[in-house]
Amino acid sequence: MPRKILLVYAPFCMPTVMPYSTSYLKGFLSNNLNVDVHCLDLNAKFHRMRFPQFYERLGRTGDMLSQGELLSEFDAAARPLYAENNKRVVNNAQPELYKELLSAILDKNPDIVAFSIVYSSQCFYALALINALKKKGVNCVAGGPAVSSKIGAHVRCMKNEVELLQYAAEKFGGDCKKFEGKAHNCSTVPDFSDYNKDDYLTKDIVIPVKTCSTCFYKQCAFCAHFADVAYLEYDLENIKRTIVKSGARSFFFIDDMITKQRLMEIAAMMKPLKVRWWCQLRPTKDLLGSFKELYDSGLRSICWGIESGNQRILDLMKKGTIVEDIKSVLKESHEAGIKNTAYIMFGFPGETKAEFLDTINFLKNNDANIDLVSPSIFGLQKRSAIYKNPGTFGITNITTEKRTVLDERISYKVEAEMDREYAKKMRGKYIKMIRKINKLPRAFAAYKEQVLVYS
């Protein structure tokens, strides 16, 4: 009997997209081990069991607006339920559908259960399941960008897929490895075949694709998103195989950033496949003149890291962008037929009221070229450049508060007038005006891939 590794994606996160992390791990482990590897998306299963009324309505949501309404209503129903269940885990009580989800794992009779934790909101349910599985003598491990130190206190956490491979080889005996010593087959094609399409709250499946190891830019002062690893571009031939094998027609490039050269290489690879795709970019001048070619390759929507309409703030952020170029990029992209989403960050340390209003005016003046605004408020992230040099940005009194499941909560003070609360108040004051700009449903700021379903 071959040994079994079960890759689990825990509640709670958005149930509209199949997970990339477990699908990638399955592809890598299957290439390198003689074992059965299976993916189990408990997040999607939880949502389908707990919110059947929204899944039933899916068939009736013919257009984009009704899907937007459905997702807004779903969000309003789901968020309080997430909070309530997380509280139960903190209080050592069982979260909802706990027995059903535990059985879904045990039914597969796994030798190793590996939890992939991409969002911190997954830590709670993952912890509850890990504790139950350990009591039953099942080997559990965890990994992923959002694994908290509390999870690390309960199970061994893996840095990457190679560590997981080595762990499995130790448990199952060296002869389960397909290659000797440190050699690996890294020609990975993520495998999405284990999931049930009906578990996803979308009319059409959108497949996530990753083309590089991390953001190549890594300079934005507020950012802790990028992984602390070398920038590596994945083989485009494997990406093409992923797309063809999935059989889907919409693809969501989840990279934080893509270089211009790589973007055009991707476009050339995508064009003959006649599919639609989405990506995230910084609005830089080098992209001008490329949008017609990008649209013709199937690129239908871009989320732009605009952040601010004030040059001093962009420079402080080290965003590497210029306000006048951003306007031209949005205009050209729009004229090519691409839907533009603007990521905006209010309350960057040192931002003044006048600079906040520059961003509001930027949005107003470029309304015709913006399809959706995704506004956020600055928050201090532990690995960011600001956290490492707070004084340079006028940040004082950084304090941390311990939490039960998640890592510490960070609080701070800013010397300038615009602190977090003031930024929230100002955003509240202008939110109606910001929402008027939206041509896409507001819910698509969270369910970003949905724009592809209606393109």
In the bound complex, what is the minimum distance in angstroms from residue 216's beta carbon to ligand SF4?
A: 8
In the bound complex, what is the minimum distance in angstroms from residue 189's beta carbon to ligand SF4?
A: 25
- Which residue of 171, 210, 225, 241 would you call a contact of ligand SF4, by CB under 6 A? 225
Site membership for ligand SF4, residue 223 (CB under 6 A): yes
Task: Give CA–CA dist 353/44, Å, rounded.
Answer: 42
Which x/- pattern over 301-320 shows residues binding ligand SF4 (rule: CB under 6 A)?
----x---------------
Q: How far is CA 330 from CA 69, 111, 414, 438, in A?
A: 27, 51, 32, 14
Are residues 178 and 155 in contact, defined by beta-carbon separation less than 8 angstroms?
A: no
Between residues 256 and 355, which has the closer beta carbon with respect to ligand SF4? Answer: 256
Which residues between 430 and 449 bind ligand SF4 (CB under 6 A)?
none
Site membership for ligand SF4, residue 210 (CB under 6 A): no
Residue 309 has phi, psi (to 5 degrees) of -105, 15
At position 115, the amino acid (one-letter code) is F
Between residues 40 and 306, which has the closer beta carbon with respect to ligand SF4? Answer: 306
Task: Give CA–CA dist 387/412, Å, rounded.
Answer: 10
Task: Give CA–CA dist 451/104, Å, rounded.
Answer: 32
Q: What is the DSSP letter of 153?
A: H
Q: Determine how β-strand 276-281 pairs with β-strand 156-158.
A: unpaired
> Can you tell me which residue has the tokens 């839907």?
339
Q: Which stretch binds ligand SF4 (CB under 6 A): 97-105, 216-224, 362-370, 410-418?
A: 216-224
Encoding tokens for residue 422? 């003031």
Are residues 204 and 250 in contact, defined by beta-carbon separation less than 8 angstroms?
A: yes
In the bound complex, what is the minimum distance in angstroms from residue 310's beta carbon to ligand SF4?
A: 17
Between residues 13 and 258, which has the closer beta carbon with respect to ligand SF4? Answer: 258
Between residues 16 and 280, which has the closer beta carbon with respect to ligand SF4? Answer: 280
Are residues 17 and 43 in contact, defined by beta-carbon separation less than 8 angstroms?
A: no
End-to-end alpha carbon distance in the chain: 47
- Which residue of 41, 161, 191, 256 would you call a contact of ligand SF4, by CB under 6 A? 256
Q: Which stretch binds ligand SF4 (CB under 6 A): 8-16, 164-172, 184-192, 222-230?
A: 222-230
Count residues near ligand SF4 (CB under 6 A): 12
> Can you tell me which residue has the tokens 């891939």?
449
Site membership for ligand SF4, residue 283 (CB under 6 A): no
Task: Give CA–CA dist 232/227, Å, rounded.
Answer: 11
Between residues 256 and 371, which has the closer beta carbon with respect to ligand SF4? Answer: 256
Q: Which stretch binds ligand SF4 (CB under 6 A): 77-85, 134-142, 223-231, 328-336?
A: 223-231
Which residues between 64 and 93 bind ligand SF4 (CB under 6 A)?
none
Q: Which stretch binds ligand SF4 (CB under 6 A): 40-48, 141-149, 155-163, 215-223?
A: 215-223
> Can you tell me which residue has the tokens 């209606």?
454
Between residues 164 and 314, which has the closer beta carbon with respect to ligand SF4? Answer: 314
Encoding tokens for residue 353? 């009221």
Entry field: residues in the chain:
455
Are residues 24 and 114 in contact, defined by beta-carbon separation less than 8 angstroms?
A: no
Are residues 341 and 371 in contact, defined by beta-carbon separation less than 8 angstroms?
A: yes
- Which residue of 125, 226, 253, 393 would you call a contact of ligand SF4, by CB under 6 A? 226
In the bound complex, what is the minimum distance in angstroms from residue 308's beta carbon to ligand SF4?
A: 12
Q: What is the largest CA-CA distance in the chain?
A: 68
In the bound complex, what is the minimum distance in angstroms from residue 171's beta carbon to ligand SF4?
A: 35
Between residues 215 and 386, which has the closer beta carbon with respect to ligand SF4? Answer: 215
Site membership for ligand SF4, residue 215 (CB under 6 A): yes
In the bound complex, what is the minimum distance in angstroms from residue 148's beta carbon to ligand SF4?
A: 21
Number of neighbours of residue 147 by Cβ within 10 angstroms: 23
Number of neighbours of residue 324 by Cβ within 10 angstroms: 10
- Which residue of 217, 252, 253, 412 would you call a contact of ligand SF4, by CB under 6 A? 217
At position 333, the amino acid (one-letter code) is S
Task: Give CA–CA dist 396/386, Å, rounded.
Answer: 11
In the bound complex, what is the minimum distance in angstroms from residue 280's beta carbon to ligand SF4?
A: 7
Task: Please give the residue ranges that form the binding site for ligand SF4 (CB under 6 A).
Answer: 215, 217-220, 223, 225-226, 256-257, 282, 305
